[in-house]
Every structure is written in structure tokens, then in C-alpha cells.
Structure 1
Amino acid sequence: MAAETSAPHPPSLPPPATAAAPRHPRLSGFEQLDTRVKELTSSQAELLERIQKLKQEVHNWRSNIETQVKTCQNELQGLKKGLDSEVEQLKSEMKEIRSAIQKEKGNLSAQSTTLETSNNDTKQALQTQDQVLKADTEASMEEQTATQA
């Protein structure tokens, strides 16, 4: 009998039920891990997709901002050129006005000198007339005095 108990089981027989029971909980743990790995992988893929979308949004936003900045710079350069042109025109006009004022000053000085000369000539003419009138008046008075005497 001892030989019977020590004899091996034939290989075609299924393993006993007690051996199958411990394997099942082990497979169930792997299945849970596999499911969790799939969830994490899916979550990672979603996160990567969101990151890619955010990167694209940032790239588009930056591109739009750069375009706006260039547009503003171009507008400012145009305005600056316009202002520079106006300033140059105003400077030119101011030079013309200054030279016209200087010319007028010169003309006024010349006119003033001419007027002074004219005034002096007029004064002299008036003095001469006064002297002639005085002389005529004195002569008339002498004649009257001589006629009365």
C-alpha cells in the first residue's frame, strides 16, 4: 500500500481543485493591475493631447501678438515720419519768417533814417521859411515905420 500512495499521478489527469483555487486570485490581481495600467495609459494620452493643444494655442497666441506688435511698429514709424516731415516744414517756415522780419527791420531802419533826414530837411526848410518870413515882416515894419515918419 505504501507503493500505491507514493506512485505519481498520471500526467493526463487535471490538477486537483485545491491547486486551481490559489491561481484564480493571482490572475484576478493581474487583471486589476492591467486595467489600472490601461487607465493610466489612457489618462497619460489625454494629458499629452491636452498639452499639445495648449502648446498650439500658445503658439497661435504668440504669433497673433507678434503680428499686432509689427503692425503697431509700422504705424508708429509712419506717424514718426509724418511728424518729422511736419517739423522740418515748420522749421523752414520759421526761417522764412525770421528772414522776412530781419528784412523788415532793415527796411524800417532805412525808412527811419530816411524819415530823420526828411525831418531834418523839413525842419531846415521851415527854419528858412521862418527866417524869410521874419525878414519880410521886419522889412514890412520898417517900411511902415518909414512911411509913417
Structure 2
Amino acid sequence: MADQSSDSTSPPAPLSVSSPTAPKKDNTSPVDSKLTELNESRAELLNRIQNLKQDLQSWRGKLDTQVKVYREELSGLKQTLNLEVEQLREEFKDLKTTLNLQQDDVTASLKSLGLQDNSKDSKEQMDKRSEVTEEKVEALSTDDNTKESEH
């Protein structure tokens, strides 16, 4: 009996000890390789992210520089435009003054020749005509509006 109990315990002991050890080595090796792969992949992704961040900062810097250049150009163009507009205003004022002086000279010449200047009378008549015309237009538009509302 003692032989049988030792026989029955002997064979299972080496099997149970050797069986779990062999699968653990096989299971840890794929897990370790997967962990290594994941760590490498993680490091690569972090490196890519870092490069993207640097690219983004570089792009922002270039964009800011370009925006600043465009703003300066626009500011310069605006100043130039304002100067040109101011020059045109001055030129128109000078032109208006010159025309008024010429008109006064023509009026004085006509008076010295004994001809009457009807230009002032003509201006008053033109103003009256334009007022009458405006009143007629307003009256017509008012009539049209009331006719449209009746329909």
C-alpha cells in the first residue's frame, strides 16, 4: 500500500509542477512582446504629437507674422488713400474757387458791356422749378400709393 500511495502521488506531482510552468512562460512571452509593442507605439505617437505641436507653433508664428505684415500694408494703404482723398478735396476747393472767380469776372465783364446778368434770376427760377417738380412728384407718388392701397 505504501508503494501504491507513493506511486499515485509521484506521477501527478511532476505533471502538475511541470504543466503550469510551461504555459506561464508561453503566456508571458506574448504579453511581454505586446507590452513592448504598445510601449513603442505609444512612444511613436507621443513623438508625432510633439512634432505636430511644434509644427502648429511654427505655423501660428508664421501666421501672426503674416497678419502683422498685412495690417501694416493696409495701414499704409489707408494713409495713402486718406492723403489722396484730402488732396482731391483741396483740388476741388481750388477748382470751385477758380470757377467762382471766373463767373464773377464774366458777370463783371457783362455788366461793363451793358448787358444784364440774368444768371442770378435764372438760378432763382431753376430753384422754383425744381421745388414745383418735387412737389408734383410727391403728389403723384402719394396718389399712386393710395390707388394701390384701394386695389
Q: Same fold (TM over 0.5)?
A: yes
Indicate which of 87, 102, 121 corresponds to 1:114. Answer: 87
Q: Where do 5+ consecutive residues of structure 1 fail to align?
A: 1-25, 144-149
Cα offsets for 1:46-98 (capped at 9, x unmatched): 10111122122211111000011111111222222222211111111100110
Indicate which of 61, 77, 86 corresponds to 1:104. Answer: 77
What TM-score does the superposition give when structure 2 sets the normalisation length? 0.69
User: Deviation of residue 35 (structure 1)?
Assistant: 3.1
Equivalent residue letter for 1:41:
P
User: Deviation of residue 39 (structure 1)?
Assistant: 1.7
User: Counterpart of 2:68?
Assistant: 95
User: Counterpart of 1:6?
Assistant: none
User: Counterpart of 1:64?
Assistant: 37
Q: Secondary structure at the match of 1:141?
A: coil
User: Deviation of residue 142 (structure 1)?
Assistant: 4.5
User: Counterpart of 1:132?
Assistant: 105
User: Deviation of residue 32 (structure 1)?
Assistant: 4.1
Indicate which of 46, 50, 75 corresponds to 2:19. Answer: 46
Give distance in 2, aligned partners of 1:38 and 1:117: 118
Q: Max radius of gyration: which structure?
A: 1
Indicate which of 51, 55, 63 corresponds to 1:78. Answer: 51
User: Deviation of residue 126 (structure 1)?
Assistant: 0.9
Identity of aligned residues (%): 17
Give distance in 2, aligned partners of 1:36 and 1:82: 69
What TM-score does the superposition give when structure 1 sets the normalisation length? 0.69
Q: Secondary structure at the match of 2:114?
A: helix
The one of the two structures with greater contact order (alpha-carbon pairs below 8 A, sep at least 6) is 2
Give distance in 1, aligned partners of 2:115 and 2:106: 14
- The count of aligned residue pairs is 116
Q: Where do 5+ consecutive residues of structure 2 fail to align?
A: 117-151
Give distance in 1, aligned partners of 2:102 and 2:13: 128
Flag as ranges the 4+ runs of structure 1 deviating above 4 A: none
> What is the aligned-residue RMSD (CA, Å)?
1.9
